[in-house]
């Protein structure tokens, strides 16, 4: 992707901040397609289980809250001054999913080794078709652009290992996860299935009132107890599981 165009897109998105609000940024359909195509290539050239080093700032769900994303960079430092790992759920619910995902993709293309994006359960066509992203794409552009984003989301990595000690994902661990190579070996592009390892990495939840594995109230995946976390950490010589997916 042309470096000057990429810098111009980033500049326009960052200039959207207007006091406490953010104005809508006009990107062309062609510009968005270029962002999706270029970032897809970057995602597929990096592993599905990213191996990263501290220091790195880890960020949870953004959900189309573009003003919050800009505030986050104000506090934490704009790339590449700080390294970032985002844990997914960039779209849906908020009013500016398009600006949010476009700035994140642009930073990913520009700072490949400093800026990392994992997949959340909302980076999936069957979910963001319902929770707002599809409607935003249709209202501001067309359904084709939503499909372009879907193709890009299907290439996102699903987990990251920091300093070989902190395992990060959007949702949680899985009863199907026996070793970390299974994550590395998930083929991409891929849609999120309704069960199995990839589904659990994006959907599972911890529950302090549960022992072992139980069905998840979401109707998808499992909840897991502290016993399963301790067992998993010990088996894989890890210190911590870091995840998003729920308000804390």
pLDDT per residue as tens digits for the range 169-188: 999 999 999 999 999 999 99
Residue 17 pLDDT grade (very low, low, confident, very high; cuts 50, 70, 90):
confident
DSSP H or E segment with residue 85: strand 84-86
pLDDT at residue 248 tops 90: no
pLDDT over 70 percentage in the chain: 100
Statement: residue 113 has pLDDT above 90: yes
Looking at residue 18, what is its pLDDT? 79
**In 3D, which of 23, 32, 44, 25 has the Cα closest to residue 5?**
32
- Cβ(48)–Cβ(186) under 8 Å? yes
Task: Give the integer Cα–Cα distance in Å for 27 and 50.
Answer: 30
**Residues marked as catalytic:** 122
Retrieve residue 198's tokens.
Answer: 């990839």
Per-residue pLDDT band at 21 (split at 50, 70, 90): confident
Residue in 161, 226, 222 with CA at minimum distance from that of residue 196: 222
Assessment of whether the complete model's pTM goes beyond 0.85: yes
CB 91 within 8 A of CB 132: yes
Which residues, other chains included, contact 71 with Cβ-Cβ below 8 Å and sequence gap of 6+? none
Neighbours of 63 (CB within 10 A): 20
Q: Are 88 and 244 in contact (CB under 8 A)?
A: yes
| pLDDT: which is higher, 200 or 22 | 200
Residue 39's pLDDT is what?
Answer: 99
Domains of the chain and any CATH numbers:
3-242 (3.60.21.10)
């Amino acid at each position: 992707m042309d470096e000057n165009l990429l810098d111009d897109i980033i500049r326009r998105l960052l200039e959207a901040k207007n006091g406490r609000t953010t104005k809508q940024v006009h990107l062309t359909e062609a510009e968005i397609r270029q962002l999706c195509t270029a970032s897809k290539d970057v995602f597929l050239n990096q592993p599905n289980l990213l191996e990263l080093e501290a220091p790195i700032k880890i960020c949870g769900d953004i959900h189309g809250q573009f003003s919050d994303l800009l505030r986050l960079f104000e506090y934490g430092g704009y790339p590449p001054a700080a390294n970032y790992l985002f844990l997914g759920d960039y779209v849906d619910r908020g009013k500016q999913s398009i600006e949010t995902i476009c700035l994140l993709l642009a930073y990913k293309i520009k700072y490949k080794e400093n800026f990392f994006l994992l997949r959340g359960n909302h980076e999936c066509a069957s979910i963001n078709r319902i929770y707002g992203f599809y409607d935003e794409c249709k209202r501001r552009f067309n359904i084709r652009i939503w499909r372009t984003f879907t193709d890009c989301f299907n290439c996102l990595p699903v987990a990251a290992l920091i300093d070989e000690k902190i395992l990060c994902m959007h949702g949680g661990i899985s009863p199907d996860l026996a070793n970390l190579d299974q994550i590395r070996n998930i083929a991409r592009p891929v849609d999120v299935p309704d069960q199995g390892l990839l589904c659990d990495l994006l959907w599972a939840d911890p529950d302090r009132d549960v022992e072992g594995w139980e069905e998840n109230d979401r109707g998808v995946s499992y909840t897991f107890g502290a016993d399963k976390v301790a067992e998993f950490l010990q088996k894989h010589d890890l210190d911590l599981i870091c995840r998003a997916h729920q308000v804390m």
